[in-house]
Amino acid sequence: MKVNIVDSTFREGLQRPGGEPFENSDAMISYTDLAGSAAVADRFEVYMPERLKADVWAYIAERYPHLMQVYVGPSHTFDLAERPELADVPQAILSTTLIKGEPQALSGARKIFELTGMPIRAGMECSGNQDPAEAVGRFLEASEVDGVAEVVIGDSSGRMTTRWIDTFFDELPQSVQSLGFHLHENGSGSASENAKRVSENARASALDELTFDATLLGVGDRMGILALSAAAALDSNPERAESARALEANAQRLITTAYQGHGFLDQAASHFNDSGRLREEYH
């Protein structure tokens, strides 16, 4: 089974209230080159234009266009007129999210493909809040949308359990050959544990490909995401895991003191209301 890793440090790692983990653009560009040479990730996901500085975008677009995955927001909100930068990266994959409570989620993903002609990576938000059988149904439905090249099971609320994962794979048809997971720590280390269970189930199901989203040191919204080193450890190639650990060690100098280590207490502001409760459309 091929294990793919999407380095989402420049999307998920920047998606939080308050300061960013990188001191400045130079630090972000240095991280890009470190990550590129380490070859741990198969793709780099970037958040543009809301949180990524223009000079960083230009550098990645010039040096690593074949590795770019561009997050364009929830599918039902996409507006091509607001995305002129996409013309710079025709080779990129476009990453969008499917909000369960939004009736235009699937048609929005189809529209993105029709407008751009670029392959779509569709993330199913907060799947851990749903019944696993329902999540499988949504996965299969999203997989049939024109232009969708990959569907990712998201757990931004951090509620997914190993039992949920086992049941999900029990319900998954044998015809499915590839899928992805976007797992959050939720302050308990659950992303690493859940990723291991996902990998075990995927191998038992004889999947051809499994994709994990991950970030440098696990930094990200909603109390942290799966770390690059944890994702790489699930590959059968020990050199990849060693490279990931070296990358995290070398990148320590590029990030602010507050981010040096694990145990982050960030919350995804886009998912929660002013009272700190998960917004209704994510249930």
CB 175 within 8 A of CB 210: no
Q: Kindly give the pairing relationship between strand 68-74 and strand 148-155.
A: unpaired
Show me where the domains of the chain are located. Answer: 2-272
CB 95 within 8 A of CB 73: no
Please list, in sequence order, all residues whose beta carbon lies within 8 angstroms of the beta carbon of residue 177, skipping any fewer than 6 positions away.
207, 208, 209
How far from 252 is each of 91, 185, 222, 266, CA to CA, in Å? 31, 20, 21, 19
For 2-272, CATH gives 3.20.20.70
DSSP per position, 242-278: HHHHHHHHHHGGGB-GGGSSS------TTTB-TTSPB
Instruction: Give 233-240 contacts, CB < 8 A, sequence gap 24+.
Output: 234/3, 234/195, 234/196, 234/199, 235/3, 236/3, 240/40
| Distance from C-alpha of 172 to C-alpha of 90, rounded to nearest angstrom | 33
47: β partners = 71
CB 257 within 8 A of CB 5: no
Place of tokens 């459309």: 281
Beta strands in the chain (DSSP E): 2-10, 43-47, 68-74, 93-98, 120-124, 148-155, 178-183, 209-214
Per residue of the chain (283 residues), what is the pLDDT tens digit?
999 999 999 998 887 555 678 888 999 999 999 999 999 999 999 987 677 888 999 999 999 999 999 999 999 999 999 999 999 999 999 999 999 889 999 999 999 999 999 999 999 998 998 999 999 999 999 999 999 999 999 998 788 999 999 999 999 999 999 999 999 876 666 889 999 999 999 999 999 999 999 999 888 765 678 999 999 999 999 999 999 999 999 998 898 765 555 444 444 445 556 565 666 655 5
